[in-house]
Amino acid sequence: MNPPVPRRDAANRLWRVETPSGPVLQKMYGEKGGALRSAWRGWMSRVLRGATSSRAEARRRTERETIALWRGAGIDAPEDLTGRHPELAGERIAILEWIEGVPLTRLLAGGRLDRAARDALLRRAGAAWGWRHAVAAEKRDPRFVQFHGGLQHLLVAGDRIAAIDLEQAYLPGGAVLPRLAREVAACVRSIAKGAEPAVLRADLAALAAGHPEPALLKAAVAEALGGGGLARVFDPQRRRREPALRVLESVLA
What's the pLDDT tens digit per position in 10-44?
Answer: 578 999 999 999 999 999 998 876 656 666 666 66
What's the pLDDT tens digit per position in 36-66?
Answer: 666 666 666 666 678 998 888 899 999 999 9
**Half-sphere exposure in the Cβ direction for 175 (13 Å, CA):** 11
Nearest to 171 by CA among 12, 32, 47, 37: 47
The pLDDT score that the predictor gives to residue 237 is 60
Strands (E), the chain: 7-9, 12-19, 22-28, 93-97, 102-103, 154-157, 160-163
The domains located in the chain, with CATH, are: 7-97 (3.30.200), 102-252 (no CATH)
**Average model confidence (pLDDT) across the chain:** 88
The pLDDT score that the predictor gives to residue 50 is 84
Classify 238 as helix, strand or coil.
helix
Q: Is the pTM of this model over 0.85?
A: yes
What's the pLDDT tens digit per position in 175-198?
Answer: 999 999 999 999 999 999 888 999
The pLDDT score that the predictor gives to residue 3 is 40
